[in-house]
Amino acid sequence: MSFLKKQIAFIGSTASGKSALALKYAKRFGANILSLDSLAIYKEIDIVSAKPTLKERDGILHFGIDEIYPNEHFDVTLFINLYNRARRESIKEGRELVIVGGTSFYLYILLNGISPLPKISDRSRELVRDYLKDLNKAYSFLYSIDRDYMQNIKPTDRYRLEKALELYFETSIIPSRYFALNPPEPIIRDNIEIYEIDINRDILRERIEIRTEQMFSRGLVDEVKYLENRYTREPNCMKAIGIREILRYFDGEFSLEEAKEKIIINTARLAKRQRTFNRSKFKNRRELLDLEQIESKLFS
């Protein structure tokens, strides 16, 4: 089995400076980058996702950016395939691999594995869509057939409800039994250094405000209008922060300034959830350092 020259991951809250750090590292050491971001993966979602521009990428090979269109379905297995492709290419080129992205849930899956999942048929998806029209109905149904599994899922967790329903309707096996029969295996087997970026909450809030202003000046409203016209509001990505607030502005629920403030507030809340997730799931991270400390450690 071939191994990577080196593998490193940068995690942290949204707007903490992860992408810029990854680009700087990749330029300095000649590395490829794998982006683990649930919005940057979409083509045509450029401003909302805050993905690095082609100019900023500066020829560095990126995986996980502009991979699918907004109306195309994806799940965590896509990131598993992207990781395997990024790893193979990096080994072939003798390059390091940098993993970065706000959706660190995908990094957690790469490190801990995921049970192999069946291909979901159109019939099962249709049944799931019907149940998800009423989340309480969906949760009650799943709880009635698999109480043990559902005890760790909130009634408002639409994503996990959707996956549990898909699994059951496709296999006729309750989730707890299915996962017992199909235990996960780690995807990442090479050594990996994980650095979490620590950032003062007031500074982070300021960065979020600046980034939101930049999104508006770059044409956020026009981008959301284009996405709605081309893809409707149905795709999951149209519920993302930065899109849903502008859609409510279109509906007359918010003024533009209110939409901007809502984006800032919701992004700050997301950052808090990311921080909590990272500190509970990545206890094996290399260190918790601010950007200056990380750069000093890696580049000096």
Say if residue 148 is in the same domain as residue 290.
no
Judged by DSSP in three states, 115 sits in coil
What pLDDT does 47 receive? 98
Same domain as 109, residue 252: no
Domain with residue 85: its CATH number is 3.40.50.300
Residue 2 falls inside a structural domain: no
CA 17-208-299 angle, to 5 degrees, is 10
> pLDDT band for position 287 (50/70/90)?
low
Q: Which residues contact 162 (CB under 8 A, 6 or more apart)?
A: 128, 132
Q: Are residues 189 and 65 in the same domain?
A: yes
Q: Name the helix (H) or strand (E) containing 263.
A: helix 256-281
Considering the domain architecture, whether residues 169 and 89 belong to the same structural domain is answered as: no
Q: Is residue 61 in a domain?
A: yes
Q: In this structure, are 194 and 206 located in the same domain?
A: no
Give the model confidence (pLDDT) of 86-142 as tens digits: 999 999 999 999 999 889 999 999 999 989 889 999 999 999 999 999 999 999 999
Percent of the chain with pLDDT over 70: 98
Domain count, the chain: 3
Instruction: Say if residue 63 is in the same domain as residue 192.
Output: yes
- What are the φ/ψ torsions at residue 236 (nearest 5 degrees)? -55, -35
What pLDDT digit, counting tens, does each position of 53-75 carry? 999 999 999 999 999 999 998 88
pLDDT digit string (tens) for 227-266?
999 999 999 999 999 999 999 999 999 999 999 999 999 9
Task: Please indicate, yes or no, if residue 52 is contained in any of the structural domains.
Answer: yes
Residue 211: give the domain boundaries: 201-274
Say yes or no: 80 and 192 in one domain: yes
Residue 1 lies in a domain: no
Tens digit of each residue's pLDDT (9 = 90 or more) over 171-223? 999 999 999 999 999 999 999 999 999 999 999 999 999 999 999 999 999 99
Token readout for 214 is 């930049």
**160, 263: one domain:** no
Q: Does 110 share its domain with 137?
A: no
- 194 and 80 belong to one structural domain: yes
